[in-house]
C-alpha cells in the first residue's frame, strides 16, 4: 500500500520545484492537490494523487532566470571566503556578453536568490551556471543527476600504464567508489574528462591517485550548454532550446 509523503518532497522528486519553493507556494495557496489548494505546511499526499501548480506559481517560475558565466581563476563559486570574491559578483550589466541575444534586459531583481548550481573550485576556470530556479539546481546537483559535465585538464607527470583505465573507472575517494567517467587524451599534455558527479576537487584528486598533477582545469560543457566563445569574466542568459539535463 502507498504511504503518504510530504507534498514538498513529492513536488521536488517530480522536478516541479524545489522543497523550499514548494513550501513558499503552499503558504500562498499555489499548490493544488487533486485540483484543490493546499495551504498547510507539512501536508502529505499519496504518490498516486495529482499535484499541480497554480498559474500564479507558474508565472513566478517563468520569470526566474538562469545565467551562464565563464568564471575566472581566483573567484569562488559560492559565498565569499578568505577575501576572495564570489562568482555572482561578476553578474553586472557591464559584464554581460555583447553577443547575448536573449530578449531579457538585465535587472537587479535577477540577482535575488541567484545561486551557483554546482561548484567550480577557485583554481579552475570555465562554465558555471547560476540560477534562481530550483528545478534547474536540482537537475544539476541532485543526488540522482545524470547531467554530463565536460572538462579540459592540463596535467604534468607520467601516467602509469593502467592509469587511464583507472581514471575511467576504478578509483575511489573518501572510501566511496566513483561513478564511471569518460577520460581520453586530448593532446600530449591535456585530458578530456566527462563526469556525472562533482565531489570536492574531484578531478585534481583523481589525477593525483594516478601520478598526475593538474596545472590547468577548464569546464567547457554542462548538458547541452557549451562555454563556446563566451569571454572569461563575462556572462549571458541561458538560451531558449539549451537543455541542461
Going along the chain from its start, the domains and CATH numbers come out as: 5-62 (3.10.290.10), 64-142+228-237 (3.30.70.580), 149-222 (3.30.70.1560)
Confidence grade of residue 136 (pLDDT, cut at 50, 70, 90): confident
Percent residues over pLDDT 90 in the chain: 66
Position 62 scores a pLDDT of: 67
Residues in contact with 21: Cβ distance below 8 Å, sequence separation at least 6, in sequence order: 11, 134
Report H helices in the chain. 7-13, 19-28, 55-63, 134-141, 163-168, 202-209
Distance between CA 161 and CA 43 in Å, rounded? 57
Looking at the chain, how many residues does it have? 245
CA distance 196 to 144: 10
pLDDT of the residue at 144: 72
Q: Between 198 and 150, name the one with better pLDDT.
A: 150
Mean pLDDT of 219-241: 94
pLDDT for res 235: 97
CA gap 66, 116 in Å, rounded: 10
Structure-block grid coordinates of residue 185: 587524451
Q: What is the pLDDT of residue 45?
A: 94
For 69-110, the pLDDT digits (tens) are 999 999 999 876 778 899 999 999 999 999 999 888 898 888
Helices assigned H by DSSP within 41-133: 55-63
121, 123, 133, 229: the active-site residue: 121
- CA pair distance 19, 11, nearest whole angstrom: 7
In the residue annotation, 100 being an active-site residue is answered as no
Q: Does the pTM of the predicted model rise above 0.85?
A: no
Amino acid at each position: 500500500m502507498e504511504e503518504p509523503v510530504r507534498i514538498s518532497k513529492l513536488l521536488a522528486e517530480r522536478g516541479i520545484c524545489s522543497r523550499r519553493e514548494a513550501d513558499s507556494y503552499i503558504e500562498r495557496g499555489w499548490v493544488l492537490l487533486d485540483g484543490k489548494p493546499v495551504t498547510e505546511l507539512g501536508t502529505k499526499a499519496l504518490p498516486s494523487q495529482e499535484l499541480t501548480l497554480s498559474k500564479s506559481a507558474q508565472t513566478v517560475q517563468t520569470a526566474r532566470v538562469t545565467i551562464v558565466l565563464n568564471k575566472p581563476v581566483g573567484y569562488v563559486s559560492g559565498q565569499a571566503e578568505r577575501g576572495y570574491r564570489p562568482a555572482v559578483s561578476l553578474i553586472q550589466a557591464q559584464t554581460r556578453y555583447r553577443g547575448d541575444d536573449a530578449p531579457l534586459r538585465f535587472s537587479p531583481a535577477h540577482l535575488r536568490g541567484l545561486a551557483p548550481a554546482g561548484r567550480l573550485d577557485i583554481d579552475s576556470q570555465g562554465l558555471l551556471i547560476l540560477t534562481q530556479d530550483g528545478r534547474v539546481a536540482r537537475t544539476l546537483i541532485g543526488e540522482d543527476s545524470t547531467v554530463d559535465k565536460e572538462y579540459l585538464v592540463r596535467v604534468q607527470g607520467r601516467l602509469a600504464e593502467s592509469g587511464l583505465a583507472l581514471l575511467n573507472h576504478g578509483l575511489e575517494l573518501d572510501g566511496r567508489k566513483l561513478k564511471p567517467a569518460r577520460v581520453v587524451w586530448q593532446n600530449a599534455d591535456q585530458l578530456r574528462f566527462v563526469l556525472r558527479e562533482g565531489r570536492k576537487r574531484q578531478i585534481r584528486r583523481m589525477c593525483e591517485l594516478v601520478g598526475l598533477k593538474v596545472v590547468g582545469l577548464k569546464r567547457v560543457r554542462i548538458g547541452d550548454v557549451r562555454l563556446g566563445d563566451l569571454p572569461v569574466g563575462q556572462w549571458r542568459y541561458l538560451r531558449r532550446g539549451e537543455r541542461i539535463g
